[in-house]
């Protein structure tokens, strides 16, 4: 670690950018808006992938793979969909380079122009529904429960590592169903899977809700969302699940023969989470010393560092450390013993703190004498001396505690930052000074939503699924409203 991180209180945005780079998670490539995900960052993403993939399979889904490039004409078949994505489409127009006349470089070969331009997928509904048309004839072919892990491209103008990049990695589930009810249930089921993943693995509390028409996915009838709150009081949409109705089935003419022998359009859902979750994970837990990782997603859960002056001490310490490593591994805990002599213990302490390793064990000569080790936890930065005997049980318990503590802490912060507000002045003030979600009445019109956004930069994050009905007046227009919705400034 070359120098200290900027403090969150000084410049939250700078803190985030520095942290992502210094902790070895990702960096900007030489290409506008495109990132390199570095090994440590990718290792966290792999843990997320593995868990999500398991949950998708447990709910009956299979993986498949569809083409990266989508013909412009497919892309245009669903009107709202193309409108939503046209402005950020990366377009392949040629398929060959040739040597320049001077022989010194290469240029696009004008003779290799594609008859029809191809779009790099920003999402795959169109190419997938073009495929499903071949797969679906009868109700016996339904449901189709397919997921794809893939890269996608949206030519965003302002980009930030993980949060908004031109290329990102994600999964996109695309399902096809006989009935509307089945599709709605699927969309809701996958929202539950996302919420469970966010809470139980990322230790990140989320609010399940439905988007307003304005914020809906381009081509969806309903977009369900999980919304999280970052430490700077801004919301982050962390996963969405869409009930697509029959829109794509109609656009691609996908019908099936029903149990009653009638030809019907197929019902659809799609749902996705992306490497954006990495940004959410980082911003939910990390502190001014660096990354803080929930144990369930930490590539290294425990690091052991020897403290010694003489080679001979190291030998004795290493012997004990190896025993501890074995015991921890036997419990399925991932552990690294860092006996490298390039750096001093103090440097290593900082480094693993920066990298968010949940538990650090230090062993020195005095520990050997006393049969103890020093155990430090990353979340609270507290240390304690613990007997070496039974250390594996202690650490196992500690990892569980850290996982729970991170969730509870984040939940406390989040709960304290849901503020019910009933007048527009307070609304603006809370958004400006306190941040977080503001729970306020809304008259249900896109016009008011837009107006509020113009005035405050806050958007309606969602209408919570567990909302209770409540008579009230729109925070801006005073028109009648039947329920509160959650506003926030958002990433």
Confirm or reject binding of residue 67 to a second copy (CB under 8 A): yes
Nearer to a second copy by C-beta: 31 or 385? 31
Q: Does 71 bind a second copy (CB under 8 A)?
A: yes
Candidate ranges 12-20, 66-74, 226-234, 324-332; the one touching a second copy (CB under 8 A): 66-74
Q: Does 267 bind a second copy (CB under 8 A)?
A: no
Q: Is 207 helix (H, G, I), strand (E, B) or coil?
A: strand
| Contact set for a second copy, span 315-374 (CB under 8 A) | 342
The least CB distance from residue 271 to a second copy, in Å, is 17
Q: What is the Cα–Cα distance from 158 to 164, expressed in whole angstroms?
A: 8
Q: Return d(Cα 313, Cα 294) in angstroms, integer.
A: 33
| Least Cβ distance, residue 127 to a second copy (angstroms) | 7
DSSP 89: -
Based on the shown chain and the rule CB under 8 A, indicate whether residue 30 belongs to the binding site for a second copy.
yes
* Binding of a second copy by 35 (CB under 8 A): yes
390 φψ region: left (φ > 0), alpha (ψ -120 to 50), beta (else): left
Q: Which of 72, 80, 336, 428 binds a second copy (CB under 8 A)?
A: 72
**What mask, x for binding a second copy by CB under 8 A, covers residues 161 to 190?**
------x-x---------------------
Q: Select from 143-151, 197-205, 280-288, 356-364 the region that touches a second copy (CB under 8 A).
A: 143-151
3-state secondary structure of 189: helix
Which contiguous run of DSSP H or E holds residue 148? strand 144-153
Pick 148 or 419: Cβ nearer a second copy = 148
95 binds a second copy, rule: CB under 8 A? yes
Interface pick for a second copy out of 20, 48, 82, 304 (rule CB under 8 A): 82
Q: How far is the CB of 310 from a second copy (least distance, A)?
A: 24
Backbone angles phi, psi at 213, to 5 degrees: -55, -40
Is residue 77 a contact partner of residue 252, using CB atoms and an 8 Å limit? yes
CA–CA dist 171, 321 (Å, integer): 40
C-alpha distances in Å from residue 36, one per residue of 15, 90, 166, 236: 19, 19, 12, 22
Pairing of strands 207-210, 167-177: unpaired
Q: Which of 15, 16, 56, 74 binds a second copy (CB under 8 A)?
A: 74
- Tokens (6 digits) for 276: 């954006």
Which residues, 6 or more positions from 353, have their beta carbon under 8 angstroms from its beta carbon?
A: 289, 290, 360, 378, 381
Which of 75, 217, 407, 491 forms a contact with a second copy (CB under 8 A)? Answer: 75
CB of 372 to a second copy, least distance (A): 33
Token pair listed for 56 = 């998708």
What whole-number distance in Å separates Cα of residue 269 and Cα of residue 182?
A: 10
Q: Are 217 and 419 in contact (CB under 8 A)?
A: no
Among 34, 314, 418, 465, indicate the residue that binds a second copy (CB under 8 A).
34
User: Is residue 108 a contact residue for a second copy (CB under 8 A)?
Assistant: yes
What residues line the site for a second copy (CB under 8 A)? 27, 29-31, 34-39, 42-43, 46, 62-72, 74-76, 82, 86-99, 105-108, 117-120, 127, 130-131, 134, 140, 146, 150-151, 153, 155, 167, 169, 342
């Amino acid at each position: 670690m070359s120098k200290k991180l900027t403090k969150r209180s000084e410049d939250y945005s700078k803190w985030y950018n520095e942290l992502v780079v210094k902790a070895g998670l990702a960096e900007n490539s030489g290409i506008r808006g495109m990132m390199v995900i570095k090994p440590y960052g990718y290792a966290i993403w792999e843990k997320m992938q593995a868990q999500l993939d398991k949950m998708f399979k447990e709910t009956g889904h299979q993986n498949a793979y569809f083409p990266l490039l989508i013909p412009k004409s497919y892309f245009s078949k669903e009107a709202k969909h193309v409108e939503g994505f046209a402005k950020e489409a990366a377009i392949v127009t040629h398929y060959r380079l040739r040597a320049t006349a001077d022989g010194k470089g290469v240029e696009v070969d004008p003779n290799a122009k594609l008859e029809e331009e191809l779009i790099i997928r920003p999402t795959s509904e169109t190419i997938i529904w073009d495929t499903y048309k071949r797969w679906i004839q009868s109700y016996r072919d339904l449901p189709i429960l397919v997921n794809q892990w893939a890269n996608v491209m949206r030519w965003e103008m302002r980009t930030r590592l993980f949060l908004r990049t031109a290329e990102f990695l994600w999964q996109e589930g695309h399902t096809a169903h006989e009935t509307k009810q089945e599709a709605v249930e699927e969309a809701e089921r996958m929202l539950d899977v996302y919420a469970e993943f966010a809470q139980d693995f990322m230790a990140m509390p989320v609010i399940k809700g439905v988007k307003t028409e304005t914020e809906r996915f381009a081509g969806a009838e309903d977009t369900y969302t999980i919304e999280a709150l970052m430490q700077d009081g801004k919301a982050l949409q962390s996963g969405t699940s869409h009930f697509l109705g029959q829109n794509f089935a109609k656009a691609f003419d996908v019908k099936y023969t029903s149990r009653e022998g009638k030809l019907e359009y197929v019902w659809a859902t799609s749902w996705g989470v992306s490497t954006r979750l990495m940004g959410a994970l980082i911003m939910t837990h990390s502190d001014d010393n660096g990354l803080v990782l929930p144990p369930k997603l930490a590539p290294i859960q425990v690091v052991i560092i020897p403290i010694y002056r003489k080679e001979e001490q190291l030998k004795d310490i290493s012997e004990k450390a190896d025993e501890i490593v074995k015991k921890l591994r036997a419990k399925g805990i991932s552990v690294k013993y860092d006996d490298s002599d390039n750096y001093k213990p103090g440097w290593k302490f900082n480094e693993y703190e920066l990298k968010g390793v949940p538990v650090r064990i230090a062993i020195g000569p005095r520990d050997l004498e006393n049969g103890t080790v020093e155990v430090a936890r990353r979340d609270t930065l507290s240390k304690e001396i613990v007997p070496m005997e039974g250390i594996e049980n202690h650490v196992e318990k500690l990892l569980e505690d850290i996982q729970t503590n991170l969730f509870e802490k984040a939940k406390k912060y989040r709960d304290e930052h849901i503020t019910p507000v009933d007048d527009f002045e307070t609304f603006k003030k809370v958004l400006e000074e306190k941040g977080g979600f503001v729970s306020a009445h809304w008259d249900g019109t896109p016009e008011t939503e837009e107006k509020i956004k113009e005035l405050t930069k806050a958007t309606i994050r969602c209408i919570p699924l567990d909302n209770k009905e409540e008579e009230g007046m729109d925070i801006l227009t005073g028109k009648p409203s039947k329920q509160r919705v959650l506003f926030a400034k958002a990433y």
